[in-house]
């Protein structure tokens, strides 16, 4: 065995050792990342008591927590969130695509100033606007029990600001395609729905998916708008109230059950469309 071969063997052994190390690390990471969710599921089936305890596997299994859920306002909250999410998925997508397509394809005088202006606007904390939006919505009668249309209106209206990711995608579709179609006499509108939209399917799905998932985690504005009226809560605001100091000992396991009911459908949907999400996220970051 000559020297090079020895070195080669050494490298191979080293590689095997480091791969084993990586497998161990990855397994640990996977466990750490999944364990809280496994705990939530396990605790949602615990029926012997309803507060936090020092063990994970229930001593008595049952569906009592899910029955409690069914008898609480949770149904209403779930429906509210679902309606907001569906509406956001439709309207936010339309608005964001209009915005990003225009900024990617057209060159007009105010384009540069407009983009800079929106960049600066984005530096203001969005929370600042809640105070006034709340008062305006309440003048329109869209708060408390009627919070759902109010939340839809606000979340859709400003969604044009989040055009970056999809603009980055449109930028990658060659402009020569547009020009060829224009030469053949197509109007800009025809170019959009006959050529660009079919090519933009991944980003359309990405936009729909993120718009749909957003409302499930929206806490702060939803709480502001629906303040104190259970009928206008979304799942985040409603379930947050279960973990306050005076409720947690009664509602802890119910919260876990609710978490399962909220997370399972969203997660399944997400995993089905994972491919598009990954494309959008990586593309968006590269473009900045």
Partner 1 sequence: MKQYSDLEYLRLSRWQKFVYKLLSFFSAIPLAIGHFFANIGGWIKKGVTAVADEFKDIGATFIHGDWKTKVSYVVMGFGNLARGQILRGLLFLVFEIVFIIYMITAGGYWMSMLPSLGKLGPTQEYNAVLDTYTTVYNDNSFKILLYGVLTIFFIIALVYTWRLNVKQNKLAEQILKSGKKLKSDKDDLRSMVDEQFYKTLLALPLTGILVFTVLPIIFMILVAFTNYDGTHNGYSNNLFTWVGLTNFNTLFSWQSAGGGQSYSATFGEILAWTLMWAFLATFTNYFLGMFVAMMINKKGIRLKKMWRTILVMTIAIPQFISLLYVSKMFARNGLINLTLLDWGWIKQPLPFWEDPTWARVTVVLINIWIGIPHLMLIATGILMNIPADLYESARIDGANAWQQYSKITLPYMLFITGPYLLTSFTGNMNNFNVIYLLTGGAPTNPAASGAAGSVGYTDLLITWLFKITTGAESQYYLASVVGIMVFVVVAFISLVVYNVLPSIKNEEDFQ
Q: Say how far apart CA 287 and CA 176 lie, in whole Å.
A: 21
CB-wise, 156 or 226, nearer to partner 1? 156
Residue 285 as a binder of partner 1 (CB under 8 A): the answer is yes
Among 158, 181, 199, 230, binds partner 1 (CB under 8 A): 158
Residue 33 as a binder of partner 1 (CB under 8 A): the answer is yes
* Cβ-based burial of 183 (10 A; exposed 0-12, middle 13-18, buried ≥19): exposed
User: Dihedral through CA 280, CA 283, CA 286, CA 287, nearest 10?
Assistant: -90
User: In the stretch 198-237, what mask flags binding to partner 1 with x, by CB under 8 A?
Assistant: ---------------x--xx-xx---x----------xx-
Interactions with partner 1, residue window 52-71 (CB under 8 A): 52-56
CB of 273 to partner 1, least distance (A): 10
Residue 277 to residues 119, 164, 209, 214, 284, Cα–Cα distance (Å): 24, 15, 8, 13, 10
* Residue range at the interface with partner 1 (CB under 8 A); choices 16-24, 57-65, 66-74, 200-208: 16-24
CB of 169 to partner 1, least distance (A): 11
Q: Say how far apart CA 173 and CA 179 lie, in whole Å.
A: 12
In 10 A of CB 235, how many CB atoms? 25
CB-wise, 51 or 70, nearer to partner 1? 51
Interactions with partner 1, residue window 109-138 (CB under 8 A): 118, 120-121, 123-133, 135-136
Among 69, 95, 200, 226, binds partner 1 (CB under 8 A): 95
CB of 90 to partner 1, least distance (A): 13
CB of 16 to partner 1, least distance (A): 9
Among 98, 140, 177, 180, binds partner 1 (CB under 8 A): 98
Contact 226, 144 (CB under 8 A): yes
Residue 240 as a binder of partner 1 (CB under 8 A): the answer is yes
Residue 183 as a binder of partner 1 (CB under 8 A): the answer is no
Residue 88 as a binder of partner 1 (CB under 8 A): the answer is no
* Residue range at the interface with partner 1 (CB under 8 A); choices 23-31, 60-68, 72-80, 194-202: 23-31
């Amino acid at each position: 065995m000559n020297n090079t071969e020895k070195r080669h063997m050494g490298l191979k052994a080293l590689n095997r050792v480091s791969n084993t190390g990586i497998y161990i690390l990855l397994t640990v990471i996977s466990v750490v990342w999944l364990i809280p969710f496994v705990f939530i599921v396990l605790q949602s089936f615990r029926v012997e008591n309803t507060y936090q305890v020092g063990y994970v596997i229930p001593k008595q299994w049952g569906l009592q927590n899910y029955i409690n859920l069914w008898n609480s306002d949770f149904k209403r909250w779930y429906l509210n969130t679902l309606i907001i999410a569906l509406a956001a998925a439709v309207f936010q997508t339309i608005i964001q695509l209009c915005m990003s397509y225009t900024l990617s394809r057209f060159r007009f005088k105010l384009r540069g100033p407009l983009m800079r202006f929106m960049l600066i606007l984005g530096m203001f904390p969005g929370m600042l606007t809640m105070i006034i939006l709340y008062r305006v919505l309440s003048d329109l009668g869209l708060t408390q029990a009627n919070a759902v249309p109010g939340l839809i209106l606000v979340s859709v209206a400003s969604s044009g600001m989040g055009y970056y990711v999809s603009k980055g995608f449109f930028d990658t579709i060659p402009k020569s395609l547009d020009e060829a179609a224009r030469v053949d006499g197509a109007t800009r509108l025809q170019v959009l729905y006959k050529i660009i939209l079919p090519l933009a399917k991944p980003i359309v799905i990405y936009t729909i998916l993120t718009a749909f998932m957003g409302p499930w985690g929206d806490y702060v504005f939803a709480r502001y708008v629906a303040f104190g009226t259970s009928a206008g809560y979304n799942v985040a605001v409603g379930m947050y109230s279960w973990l306050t100091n005076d409720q947690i000992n009664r509602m802890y396991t119910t919260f876990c059950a609710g978490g399962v009911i909220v997370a399972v459908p969203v997660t399944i949907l997400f995993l089905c469309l994972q491919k598009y999400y990954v494309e959008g996220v990586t593309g968006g970051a590269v473009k900045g």
